[in-house]
Amino acid sequence: MDSCPAPVRKLDRTSIRELTEAADALLAAYRSPHHPRLLRSLPAAAATLGHSLRHLVRPVDAPDGICLLRGLPVDDDAIGPTPGHWSTAGRAGAFWDVVLLLLGTLRGRPIAWQGQQNGRFVHNIVPSPGHEQEQTGASSDVLLSPHTEDAFHPGRAHLLMLGCLRNHDRVATTAASIRHTALDPADVALLCEPLLPILPDDSYATARASALRPPPVRTLWPSETGLTLRFDPAYTPLDQAPPAHRAAYARLERELARVTVTVRLTPGDILLVDNDVTVHGRVPFRARYDGTDRWLKRASVHIPDNRTRPPEELREHGYGQAALVAPGPAD
């Protein structure tokens, strides 16, 4: 695992001012980033943002599949203590919720899930007591395995945004691009076969309880721009696969580990991740639960003109989990 910064896109003073003024105006009008009228106002507010900001959120460059927006200031005292659980966050860091929503609206449409964090469009990612060993964003003691965000669902994000509010311990986010791997063509062919399902993770209680039959999905598939993946080993029943498929999957895991880089987010950083090219995770850390732990904001964005995924995904049931899509300019 290499320690390597992501490609950086620096926000200039004009971009910071425009983004800050737009976010402040929306919060002043509607108070809560979860207010339905604020969500409906996003396209008009985003339309006032200048060319510089639009250029900063342009598609993530292949083959890295990640980039870092840097330059927004964070006042560690003003944001308050790190919440002990997403459900107790309330309006904490609300300005950053709106910032992510505005940036996401410049690229596509932010999405939310009915079964995760009460259908919020921006999630608080904080360590929580009792969840230390889980493969979810609330864990801390274990390695959060590299994965595609919401890999179980055909409506998963095309773009993932991780905004850092606090990271005093310099806890590293991991990332690995499928475009940097060196896989045997025979392994690629095996992993392009839709053989195994990906199950909902532990943060989706209602989806995990679904009685719907899990559909087999492709781990890899080619696209016009290169190899693409859908990957979550922690929730893939590999013991159900034939030995050759398991071996190919294991070699894919080793290749992703070989090309993994670490990004130590600092307050004000926003990591953009191409969710079809790059898997992400997090190294273990020891949570203190004293209000100073790592605190990220997470937003998922659907890009309507993205056509890189296999067409059979449209027939998947998504375990009954419905994606909520923020309004667009034509709505």
- CA 194 to centroid of chain Cα atoms: 24
Q: Which residue has the higher pLDDT, 59 or 177?
A: 177
- Residues, the chain, total? 331
Q: For a pLDDT cut of 70, what percent of the chain falls above it?
A: 96
- Report whether 66 contacts 260 (CB < 8 A): no
Average pLDDT, the chain: 93
Residue 158: predicted pLDDT: 97
Task: In whole angstroms, give the CA distance from residue 314 to residue 124.
Answer: 29
Domains of the chain: 2-325 (3.60.130.10)
Is the bond into 214 cis (omega within 30 degrees of 0)?
Answer: no
pLDDT at 171: 97
Per-range mean pLDDT, top range of 19-23, 141-145, 327-331 = 19-23
d(CA 140, CA 156): 24
Kindly tell me if the per-residue pLDDT of 138 is higher than 90.
no
For the record, the structure tokens of 101 come out as 């929503």
pLDDT digits (tens, 9 = 90+) for 212-266: 899 999 999 999 889 999 999 999 999 999 999 999 999 999 999 999 999 999 9
SS (H, E, C) the chain: CEECCCCEEECCHHHHHHHHHHHHHHHHHHCCCCCHHHHHHHHHHHHCCCHHHHHHCCCCCCCCCEEEEECCCCCCCCCCCCCCCHHHCCCCCHHHHHHHHHHHHHHCEEEEECCCHHHCCEEEECCCCCCCCCCCCCCCCCCEEEECCCCCCCCCCCEEEEEEEECCCCCCEEEEEHHHCCCCHHHHHHHCCCCECCCCCCCCHHHHCCCCCCCCECCEEEECCEEEECCCHHHCCHHHCCHHHHHHHHHHHHHHHHCCEEECCCCCCEEEEECCCEEEEECCCCCCCCCCCCEEEEEEEECCCCCCCCHHHHHCCHHHCCEEECCCCCC
Least confident of 58-72, 111-125, 137-151, 203-217: 203-217
Q: Which residue has the tokens 């392994």?
A: 187
Supply the pLDDT for residue 322. 86
- Between CA 205 and CA 210 the distance in angstroms is 9
Total-model pTM: 0.95
Over range 123-152, report the average pLDDT.
Answer: 91
